[in-house]
Amino acid sequence: MTENGSTYDLVIVGAGPAGLCAALYAGRGMLKAITIERGPPGGELLNTDLIEDYIGFESIKGWELARQFAEHAKKFGADIVTDTVERIRKAPDGLFDVVTARERVFRAPAVILTAGGTPVKLGVPGEKEYAGKGVSYCAVCDGAFFKGEVLAVVGGGDAAVEEADYLTRYASKVYIVHRRDQLRASKILQERAFANPKIEMVWNKRVLEIVGDSRTVKHLALEETTTGARSQLAVGGVFVFIGFKPNTGIVEGHVKHDAGGYFITDERMMTSIPGLFAAGDVRSQLTRQITTAVGDATTAAIAVEKYLAALRQDD
Ligand code: NAP
């Protein structure tokens, strides 16, 4: 930190599963590391009700796994500060400046970016207007506000199908509105949704508008993707799960990325900027699971140790 003149070996940006796992390994590697997280540790785990696909934990609440991850990382010396990282840039002296909203600058020769992503928006009229008034991007956070309501979930991936199932605890009915006639979600989640009597699929429909009164959402204006036929779906709320956009914009300078903006890394998880590593949801890869996030983070933290050792040899 520049305030007291000290620098770190490693700055970890984000404290979701990837960030906490990187912090644990950095601690075990005796690196002087700091982890910066804007909210409570846990990342997407805190927006997930039940985790059933993290090996060794048959079924565990998202918040409970987050708590265990954070405790475990702290046991190995993880130092987690609450602040929002606004910029990461490589200075001419080769160190990264990690600049936060509270105007602190953390300096290190290596950074692991594990900042996750933000939900993709539909970009239709009504979405912004009714955000927090019937439009939501987090079932765990907002589901309980919709007791007895008819809801729509938009999307066809793991998140949409899993969260639709979760929402049936509160809602009287949940429509899954998908733009194709096939789900992208994993088979086990699909089967669970198809077996849930409160879930009804609305295939081949695009949302044109979210319509409501002065208070809340009343219906969705839909368009059939093949025929263009218009229809309305009466709902009291809509949950949008159409993917994530990686939080990679905080890095200054060009970093190799894929079409979705996810950072491309080598087998060490290093990006095209030497010393900048990426793990979890910010990284270009086939799937984004807790297991893949912690796998990335393990590789990245161990690679950082080797990277720093090589830098010292060059000096
Ligand atoms: P995703 O897998 O990218 O799925 C996004 C879904 O939204 C797709 O079905 C897509 O339709 C649809 N979509 C995209 N843009 C749209 C638009 N403008 N209008 C309407 N629909 C649109 O995203 P995700 O479900 O958020 O999952 C992200 C990653 O996290 C995935 O790798 C997923 O496996 C993982 N994840 C895993 C779990 C789990 O294993 N339990 C839970 C949550 C997330 P098309 O299918 O037509 O492209």
Check residue 222 and give its pLDDT.
Answer: 98
Task: Give residue-wise pLDDT tens across range 164-188.
Answer: 999 999 999 999 999 999 999 999 9
* Amino acid at the residue 151: L
How many A from CA of 241 to the centre of ligand 1?
7
> How many angstroms separate the CA atoms of 245 and 62, rounded?
21
Residues 6+ away with beta carbon under 8 Å from 259: none
Report which of residues 288 and 3 the model is more confident about: 288
H-type helices in 168-208, by residue range? 187-195
Asked whether 168 lines ligand 1 (CB < 6 A), one says no
Q: Looking at the predicted structure, is the pLDDT value of residue 141 above 90?
A: no
Task: Give residue-wise pLDDT tens across range 87-131.
Answer: 999 999 999 999 999 999 999 999 999 999 999 999 999 999 999
Average pLDDT, rounded, for the chain: 95
Proportion of the chain above pLDDT 70, given as a percent: 98
* Start-to-end Cα distance in the chain: 22
What would the mean pLDDT of 44-62 be, rounded to a whole number? Answer: 92
Residue 222, token pair as written in the block: 């839909």
**pLDDT interval class at 49 (50, 70, 90):** confident
What would the mean pLDDT of 213-225 be, rounded to a whole number? Answer: 97
Whose CA is closest to atom 15 on ligand 1?
242
Atom of ligand 1 nearest to the CA of 182: 46
Q: Are the CB atoms for 203 and 118 separated by under 8 Å?
A: no
Phi and psi at residue 56, to the nearest 5°:
100, -15
How many A from CA of 41 to the centre of ligand 1?
24
Check residue 4 and give its pLDDT.
Answer: 45
Asked whether 237 lines ligand 1 (CB < 6 A), one says no
Asked whether 47 lines ligand 1 (CB < 6 A), one says no
Q: Are the CB atoms for 175 and 236 separated by under 8 Å?
A: no
Whose CA is closest to atom 7 on ligand 1?
242
Q: Are the CB atoms for 154 and 123 separated by under 8 Å?
A: no
> How many angstroms separate the CA atoms of 254 and 232, rounded?
44
Give pTM, 2 decimals: 0.86
Phi and psi at residue 276, to the nearest 5°:
-100, 115
How many A from CA of 281 to the centre of ligand 1?
13
Q: Are the CB atoms for 100 and 36 separated by under 8 Å?
A: yes
Check residue 6 and give its pLDDT.
Answer: 57
Asked whether 244 lines ligand 1 (CB < 6 A), one says yes
Residue 150's DSSP bridge partners are 173
Atom of ligand 1 nearest to the CA of 180: 47
Q: Are the CB atoms for 270 and 167 separated by under 8 Å?
A: no
Asked whether 77 lines ligand 1 (CB < 6 A), one says no
Report which of residues 6 and 129 the model is more confident about: 129
Whose CA is closest to atom 29 on ligand 1?
288
Q: Looking at the predicted structure, is the pLDDT value of residue 1 above 70?
A: no
Proportion of the chain above pLDDT 90, given as a percent: 92
Q: How far is CA 6 from CA 33, 99, 133, 196, 230, in A?
A: 12, 15, 46, 56, 62
How many A from CA of 104 to the centre of ligand 1?
35
Annotated catalytic sites, by residue?
138, 141-142
Whose CA is closest to atom 39 on ligand 1?
158
Check residue 5 and give its pLDDT.
Answer: 43
Check residue 47 and give its pLDDT.
Answer: 85
Task: Give residue-wise pLDDT tens across range 281-302.
Answer: 999 999 889 999 999 999 999 9
